[in-house]
Structure 1
Amino acid sequence: MDDDQSLPPRLTRLTFHGPLAEDRATRIVDRLTRVAPPATVLDIGCGWGELMLRVLAAVPGARGVGVDLNATDLARGRAAAERRGLADRVEFAEESAVGTFRGPADLVLCLGASQALGDQSPPAHIPAALEALRGLVTPHGRVLFADGIWERTPPPERLAAMWPDASADELPDLPGLVDLAVAAGFRPSWIETASLAEWDDFESGYQSDAEDWLAAHPAHPRAAETRARLDAHRAGWLNGYRRHLGMAYLTLTPSL
């Protein structure tokens, strides 16, 4: 059995599990807390819940729940909450978000986690997630929804270098995503997209722990497997979705 201490650490170089820079995160938290501070926050597919924790820190007395199936990420979130004095105001729940009873909340976060709300295949996963989110937010609350879009339609050779069975019709463009949100019963109060620099920082951070581990452990029994995984991911990024795959951040309010 492998000693976990001898394996690559997991995503420690990432602050957020997605292409999100510090300055954008600061602006988002300010926008979500300054005008109408939420009393309750629900984070779907929360991972370690970094943005949720920042919202709670900005709104004394607010309470949050993060839902995810990854026990390692949830433990990281709990440890961060303890360090920041937020442990008594947040719960990290290891459970599925499909049909969750955790709402409604004043603020619902769903950051790159539309798949956590159902088992629909693309492109049906996004409208299904938006429909579920509409039922999880209070009437005067807000949803921060982040999901993939095509910044530009990828040509066949780019699609072939991405993930298995990648297709041009599995994601909308930005106008299409906003239209889906409106059709689900929302109004977009803020629309923004991740920059190329945010994507490059995220992808580099996603690989960095394992690359440094590989350099220090070239003869480890898992080295060849790790090298192959890193090479495949990097090729998919640089030869496939870089400059084509985008991430939209939509701040949504329910239509009344």
Structure 2
Amino acid sequence: MTTHARLTFHGPLSAERATAIVERLAANRPRTVLDIGCGWGELLLRVLEAVPAARGTGIDVNETDLARGRREAEARGLAGRVEFVAESARGTVREPADLVLCLGASQALSEAEPPTGEALASLRRLVSDGGRVLLGEGFWERTPTETELAGMWPGARADDHFGLAELLDLAVAAGFRPEWTETATHSEWEHFESAYQADQEVWLAANPSATEVRDRLDRHRAQWMSYREVLGMAYLTLVPVQR
């Protein structure tokens, strides 16, 4: 059964927004790019395509995603400029990079709940002066109700995320200035959530006796319906304050 084949990015990010983000990041001409919790590293690869002199590293603990990233790099002629490494980002001692990507992966940098504040402090250590951080981080578009929380991921709480204004304040407190603030649209969320399960749903329609798969898909869809139009995704382009 094919999974995630219809996903270009592992998050609510459209091709149009990705193109604009890459153009903005490429204008700073980064020489080194570090992608935290990279998955298959689609945005990392697009940055390397846009900046031929740059070299990149993607780190993640999911070997399946890393293997997909390596295949994509090979197919696009980027294998000599990027490496995908099976590695935890917590406590990483990697050298600062000119561009650090962390898209929906702040939990890879911290065990705190929520991880955002500690993750931002780590990102400040991992980016060179004059560089950029692109942080993709969830936020509450509004305070969720108890009923909505009960339908989300197990143990979901109102303090799992911040509001957008609080998120920006945390970034500033960690030593950044926000160069660009944007948030995923509901259309981007719907595309992501639909593509996330589409191949499995088609498979299940032809294999209706697969109860474990059906239960998992139904559970995720119910969770999505609970955080739909409640959970947002912010894409923050952050500039480190000179020390």
* 1:51-66 equivalent positions in 2, closer than 5 A: 51-66=43-58
Higher mean C-alpha displacement, 73-82 vs 99-108: 99-108
1:30 partner SS: helix
Is residue 209 from structure 1 mapped to residue 199 from structure 2 by the alignment?
A: yes
**What residue identity is the alignment partner of 2:137?**
D
Q: Which of 112, 126, 144 is residue 134 of structure 2 equivalent to?
A: 144
Is residue 174 from structure 1 mapped to residue 167 from structure 2 by the alignment?
A: no
1:43 CA displacement: 0.0
Distance 1:12 1:53 in 2: 17
1:118 CA displacement: 1.9
Is residue 46 from structure 1 mapped to residue 32 from structure 2 by the alignment?
A: no
Q: What's the % identity of the aligned pairs?
A: 64
* 1:43-192 equivalent positions in 2, closer than 5 A: 43-122=35-114, 125-192=115-182
1:103 CA displacement: 2.7
Is residue 195 from structure 1 mapped to residue 195 from structure 2 by the alignment?
A: no
Q: Which of 222, 233, 251 is residue 220 of structure 2 equivalent to?
A: 233
Distance 1:71 1:77 in 2: 10
Q: Which of 7, 29, 32 is residue 25 of structure 2 equivalent to?
A: 32
2:201 partner SS: helix
The equivalent residue for 2:240 is 254
1:196 CA displacement: 0.2
Higher mean C-alpha displacement, 183-192 vs 159-168: 159-168
**What residue identity is the alignment partner of 2:133?**
V
Deviations 1:167-202 (A, max 9, x none): 112211100000000000000000000000000000
Deviations 1:107-152 (A, max 9, x none): 0000000011121122xx1001000000000011000001110011
Distance 2:224 2:229 in 1: 9
Distance 1:244 1:218 in 2: 32
User: Is this contact kept in 2: 1:11–1:205, CA < 8 A?
Assistant: yes
User: Is this contact kept in 1: 2:178–2:236, CA < 8 A?
Assistant: yes
User: Is this contact kept in 2: 1:42–1:102, CA < 8 A?
Assistant: no
User: Is this contact kept in 2: 1:42–1:103, CA < 8 A?
Assistant: no
User: Is this contact kept in 1: 2:183–2:232, CA < 8 A?
Assistant: yes
User: Is this contact kept in 2: 1:38–1:62, CA < 8 A?
Assistant: yes
Deviations 1:56-97 (A, max 9, x none): 000012100000000000000000000000000000000111
**What residue identity is the alignment partner of 2:213?**
T
**What residue identity is the alignment partner of 1:216?**
A
Deviations 1:28-51 (A, max 9, x none): 0000012x1100000000000000
The equivalent residue for 2:2 is 9
Distance 2:59 2:223 in 1: 29
User: Is this contact kept in 2: 1:67–1:93, CA < 8 A?
Assistant: yes
Q: Which runs of 5+ in 2 are unaligned?
A: none
